[in-house]
């Protein structure tokens, strides 16, 4: 006869509520079967023995380390969250849902094993969630705590969808100016490295002095023709210096400060603080406490200067101040976020109001970027066209001189 062991469990009831308790079974598989027989969807099963718990935790940690070697894109992560939410909402338990998706998504079988080894869902998914998106774990954990994991997964997927939408709009807005710039550089390179070197010897062979303007163009052409290895080496060294400065020399911190306080501050602040407000609203809407939501969302800020400036928010909340009062002390925080935060506090809809404020700021920033790109394209065409036209004028002048010499 098998020896029964006490297992602690956490499960979701048919009405969506979470339930915790103990059950006697001969093994984890037996405990799982007994819980399913009671119409419970197990989230966590572990023995009460401290040593067994430690062993399972070590096993889970080993699985998580193996998962860290897996890479997953934002699109794949969004699809994973949405598909997992659909399966859970359809009545599948977490183990079955992960088993189904594990056939399509790399690493999910290890996630399932980590959960059975004692990890919660948000901890098991941590290795596949990038560090800048660590606040997504808070959304999932909040949904798990209130017995509605699918809602937490949907919230996390919505954050990823908005992030992908912003990136796509930025790419579409900046692709045309970038294409114009690259095309102009290619045209300038052909003129300076091919056309000019072919014309200059014809003038020199006829004993003619090069026109002053063409002499200047010819000097640049020669410099590029003979000095390209040095130019390439200089560019490579500059790239290495920038990389080292970005990683060790404080260049990233300086760039982050310049973005928030420089000429692009209206766009940068709307994107940085708008994303922060939206993520904070999502976390609060999912049921996370305000301090936990602030901690997770602050860690998700890629801008180091913005992260420093929002340090004061958690401190003021611990002192009993309101979130809107704390936001007023954050330098550069858009006033739209502060005002809607006040409205949310007054109407007990803080999460939705912060989400709306973040979306408004991000939308406003994207509109500014779109308008700027539409203006930048024609300006680049005019400026680079004038430069190429000036070069061609010098080349045509030289060709005219050659023609006059040949006619004489």
CATH of the domain at 9: 3.10.20
Asked whether residue 84 carries a pLDDT value surpassing 70, the answer given is yes
pLDDT of residue 52: 43
Q: Decide if 40 is inside a domain.
A: yes
Query: What Cα–Cα distance (Å) separates residue 31 from each residue in 27, 117, 149, 329?
Result: 6, 13, 21, 52
Q: In whole numbers, what is the pLDDT of the chain averaged over residues?
A: 77
Query: What Cα–Cα distance (Å) separates residue 382 from each residue in 59, 73, 192, 385?
Result: 64, 39, 20, 5
**CA 45 – CA 42 distance, rounded (Å):** 7
Query: What Cα–Cα distance (Å) separates residue 159 from each residue in 168, 247, 278, 334?
Result: 14, 28, 8, 20
pLDDT of residue 113: 66
Asked whether residue 143 carries a pLDDT value surpassing 80, the answer given is no
Q: Decide if 1 is inside a domain.
A: yes
**CA 248 – CA 179 distance, rounded (Å):** 33
Lowest-pLDDT choice from 112-126, 258-272, 275-289: 112-126
**CA 18 – CA 10 distance, rounded (Å):** 7
Asked whether residue 51 carries a pLDDT value surpassing 70, the answer given is no
**CA 51 – CA 63 distance, rounded (Å):** 18
pLDDT band per the 50, 70, 90 thresholds, residue 343: very high
Mean pLDDT value across residues 279-307:
82
Handedness of CA 307, 69, 138, 267 (dihedral sign): positive
Using left for φ > 0, alpha for ψ between -120 and 50, and beta otherwise, residue 6 falls in beta
Asked whether residue 103 carries a pLDDT value surpassing 90, the answer given is no
Give the contacts of 23 (CB within 8 A, at least 6 positions apart): 6, 7, 9, 31, 34, 35
Mean pLDDT highest for which of 189-193, 198-202, 205-209, 393-397? 189-193
pLDDT of residue 198: 77
**Cβ proximity of 196 and 221 under 8 Å:** yes
Give percent above pLDDT 90 in the chain. 13
Q: Decide if 319 is inside a domain.
A: no
Mean pLDDT value across residues 121-148:
73
Mean pLDDT value across residues 192-208:
72
Give the contacts of 71 (CB within 8 A, at least 6 positions apart): none
Asked whether residue 256 carries a pLDDT value surpassing 80, the answer given is yes
Q: In this structure, what is the dihedral angle of CA atoms 388, 394, 397, 399, given to the nearest 10 degrees?
A: -80
Q: Decide if 70 is inside a domain.
A: no
**Cβ proximity of 135 and 116 under 8 Å:** no
Q: Per the structure, how many domains does the chain have?
A: 1
19 forms beta bridges with 11
- Nearest C-alpha neighbor of 26 from the set 53, 5, 56, 9: 5
> Residues 33-48: pLDDT tens digits?
778 778 887 767 776 5
Query: What Cα–Cα distance (Å) separates residue 354 from each residue in 158, 179, 316, 365, 404?
Result: 15, 37, 18, 17, 74
Higher pLDDT, 295 or 3: 295
> Residues 355-404: pLDDT tens digits?
999 989 988 988 888 888 788 878 888 887 887 787 777 777 766 766 56
- 365: phi then psi, degrees, rounded to nearest 5: -65, -40
Asked whether residue 329 carries a pLDDT value surpassing 80, the answer given is yes
pLDDT of residue 146: 67
Residue-number span of the structural domain to which 23 is assigned: 1-48
Higher pLDDT, 300 or 88: 88
**CA 219 – CA 223 distance, rounded (Å):** 6
Give the tokens for residue 256: 């982050």
**Cβ proximity of 301 and 135 under 8 Å:** no
DSSP 191: I
Q: Decide if 3 is inside a domain.
A: yes
**CA 50 – CA 73 distance, rounded (Å):** 37
Q: Decide if 8 is inside a domain.
A: yes
For 134, counting Cβ atoms within 10 Å of its Cβ (0-12 exposed, 13-18 middle, 19+ buried), the class is: middle
pLDDT of residue 244: 85
Q: Decide if 136 is inside a domain.
A: no
Q: Decide if 274 is inside a domain.
A: no
Give the tokens for residue 257: 């400060």
- Nearest C-alpha neighbor of 163 from the set 136, 186, 195, 137: 136
């Amino acid at each position: 006869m098998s020896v029964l062991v006490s297992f602690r469990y956490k499960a979701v009831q048919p009405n969506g509520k979470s339930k915790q308790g103990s059950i006697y079974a001969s093994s984890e598989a037996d405990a799982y079967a007994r819980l399913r027989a009671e119409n419970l969807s197990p989230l966590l099963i572990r023995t009460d023995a401290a040593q067994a718990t430690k062993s399972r935790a070590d096993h889970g940690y080993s699985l998580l380390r193996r998962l860290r070697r897996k890479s997953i894109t934002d699109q794949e992560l969004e699809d994973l969250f949405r598909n997992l939410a659909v399966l859970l909402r359809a009545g599948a338990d977490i183990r079955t849902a992960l088993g189904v998706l594990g056939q399509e998504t790399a690493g999910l079988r290890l996630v399932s094993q980590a959960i059975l080894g004692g990890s919660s869902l948000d901890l098991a998914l941590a290795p596949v969630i990038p560090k800048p998106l660590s606040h997504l774990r808070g959304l999932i954990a909040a949904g798990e705590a209130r017995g509605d994991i699918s809602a937490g997964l949907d919230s996390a997927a919505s954050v990823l969808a908005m992030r992908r939408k912003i990136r796509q709009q930025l790419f579409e807005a900046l692709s045309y100016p970038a294409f114009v710039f690259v095309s102009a550089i290619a045209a300038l390179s052909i003129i300076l490295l091919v056309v000019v070197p072919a014309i200059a010897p014809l003038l020199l062979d006829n004993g003619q002095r090069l026109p002053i303007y063409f002499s200047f163009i010819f000097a640049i052409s020669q410099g590029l023709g003979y000095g390209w290895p040095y130019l390439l080496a200089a560019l490579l060294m500059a790239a290495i210096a920038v990389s080292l400065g970005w990683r060790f020399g404080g260049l990233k911190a300086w760039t982050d400060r310049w973005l928030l306080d420089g000429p692009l501050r209206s766009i940068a602040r709307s994107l940085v603080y708008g994303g922060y407000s939206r993520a904070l609203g999502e976390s609060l809407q999912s049921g996370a406490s305000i301090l936990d939501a602030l901690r997770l969302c602050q860690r998700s800020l890629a801008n180091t200067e913005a992260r420093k400036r929002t340090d004061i928010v958690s401190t003021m909340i611990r002192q009993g101040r309101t979130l809107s009062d704390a936001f007023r002390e954050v330098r550069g925080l858009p006033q739209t976020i502060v005002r809607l935060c006040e409205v949310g506090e007054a109407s007990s809809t803080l999460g939705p109001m912060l989400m709306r404020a973040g979306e408004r700021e991000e939308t406003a920033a994207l509109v500014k970027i779109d308008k700027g790109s539409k203006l930048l394209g024609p300006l680049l065409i005019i400026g680079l066209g004038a430069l190429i036209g000036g070069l061609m004028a010098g080349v045509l002048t030289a060709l005219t001189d050659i023609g006059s010499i040949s006619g004489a």
